[in-house]
Amino acid sequence: MEYAFIIWIGLIFGSFAGATVWRLRARQLIEDQAAGERVSKKELTKLTPLVQSRLSDDRSRCLHCQHSLEWYDLVPIVSWLSTRGRCRYCSRPIGWFEPLIEIGTAGVLAALYWGLRTHGITTSPNPLIDSSLYALWLGAGVLLVIAFAYDAKWFLLPDRVIFPLIAVSGVIAAMRILEAPTPIFAALDTLGAVLILSGLYLALWYVSKGRWVGFGDVKLGLALGLALGSWTLAFLALFLANLIGTLIVLPNLVRGKVSKKTQIPFGPLLITGFVIALLWGNLLIDAYTEAMNGFTSVLLML
Ligand SMILES: [Zn+2]
């Protein structure tokens, strides 16, 4: 019952996240153009009505025909299915982005809720702190989905998403440290997580003068480190991000589809590693330790 509610909330937030991604992109294009950078004219004319129609009304619009959308066009998943993924007014395909981000957000929020409920990522006996933490993680989850989608699409982590994410993670970190039995250890653990997830990218960014990693990754690492608050989990998140990246790149590399210049956005990889480490990190570390112990005792018996 509670999960049905969380998934329903997740679909609505997902629909909001999808709309936010397009609006952020439209703003980015307008700013880039004002700064004299080259932007795609086609993309600009397609997306600018999303933010420029703000003064007259704040409604969502079809990206093809600019027809403003009614409430029944905006019901997550259901609207998309009812028109088989096409615009009700111009019948051009809407694409997979909307339903995917809605389902993705619902999945992430349900997983975070499960994580908080079952093995208390950060739960507090104080009901006020406990419910604030739910709200904060909910906000962090939606921001992570937006950052993930934006970086995957346009290889950029916008400050308008990352700065609020750093703020939310900072509050989560502060609450966890204050609630900890020994706050100084919790603070050091959080500092370790930040150094691993952000410090490493900062060093890479500095050494390569921004060619290997973008500064957006440094800022994202700061947010994720604060939210994780454990240097072992941070290390695991970084390891998983690189592992997943390698698994994605390797088959294409073998087929010669990837050159050394191929850009790979780190954001989505780091966010995926972060979510796995957050939800199953301790389980994975325990399983690994147990396996190593088992291995050692077998060796000793021999
Ligand atoms: Zn349309």
pLDDT tens digits along 80-135 = 999 999 999 999 998 899 999 999 999 999 999 888 777 665 566 777 887 888 89
User: Quick check: 194 and 137 in contact, CB under 8 A?
Assistant: no
Mean pLDDT confidence for 3-12: 93
Q: Is the dihedral of CA 52, 53, 57, 63 positive or negative?
A: negative
Q: How much of the chain exceeds pLDDT 90, in percent?
A: 52
pLDDT tens-place string over residues 134-185: 899 999 999 999 999 999 999 999 999 999 999 999 999 999 899 888 999 9
Whole-number Å distance, alpha carbon 229 to ligand 1 midpoint, is: 45
Cα(13) to centroid of ligand 1, in Å? 23
pTM exceeds cut of 0.75 = yes
pLDDT of residue 209: 87
Q: Average pLDDT for residues 193-204, to the nearest whole number?
A: 93
Q: What pLDDT sits at residue 94?
A: 86
d(C-alpha 67, C-alpha 76), whole Å: 18
Helix (H, G, I), strand (E, B) or coil at 68: strand
User: How far, in Å, are 46, 51, 61, 78, 88 from residue 71 at the CA level?
Assistant: 22, 19, 11, 12, 12
Ligand 1 centre and the CA of 95: distance in Å? 12
What Rg, from alpha-carbon coordinates, does the chain have? 21
Distance in angstroms between the alpha carbons of the first and the last residue of the chain:
53
**Average pLDDT of span 36-60:** 76
Comparison of pLDDT for 216 and 46, the residue scoring more = 216
Phi/psi region, residue 87 (left: phi>0; alpha: psi -120 to 50; beta: rest), is: beta
Cα of 68 vs centre of ligand 1, distance in Å, is 9
3-state helix, strand, coil in the chain (%, to 5): 75, 0, 25
- Expressed in angstroms and rounded, the spacing between residue 63 Cα and the centre of ligand 1 is 7
Query: How far apart are the CA of 237 and the centre of ligand 1, in A?
Result: 41
Distance 27 CA to ligand 1 centre (A): 21
Looking at the DSSP assignment, which residues form a beta bridge with residue 61? 68
Q: Residue 148: is it exposed, middle or buried by C-beta count within 10 angstroms (0-12/13-18/19+)?
A: buried
Domain boundaries, the chain: 1-119, 157-302
Q: What is the mean pLDDT of the chain?
A: 88
Give, as residue ranges, everything with CB less than 5 Å from ion ligand 1: 62, 64-65, 87, 89-90
Q: How far is the CA of 71 from the centre of ligand 1 (A)?
A: 15
User: 152 C-alpha vs ligand 1 centroid, how far in Å?
Assistant: 25
- 65 alpha carbon to ligand 1 midpoint, in Å? 4
Extract long-range pairs of 149-153: CB within 8 Å, 24+ residues apart.
149/17, 149/18, 149/21, 149/97, 149/101, 149/104, 150/21, 150/24, 150/25, 151/216, 151/265, 151/266, 151/267, 151/268, 152/265, 152/267, 152/268, 153/21, 153/25
Q: 92 C-alpha to center of ligand 1: Å?
A: 6
> What is d(CA 203, CA 56) in angstroms, rounded to the nearest whole number?
47
pLDDT beyond 80 at 259: no
Residue 55 pLDDT grade (very low, low, confident, very high; cuts 50, 70, 90): very low
**Ligand 1 centroid to residue 14 C-alpha, Å:** 21
Q: How far apart are CA 100 and CA 80, in angstroms?
A: 11
Distance 89 CA to ligand 1 centre (A): 5
Q: What is the DSSP letter of 182?
A: S
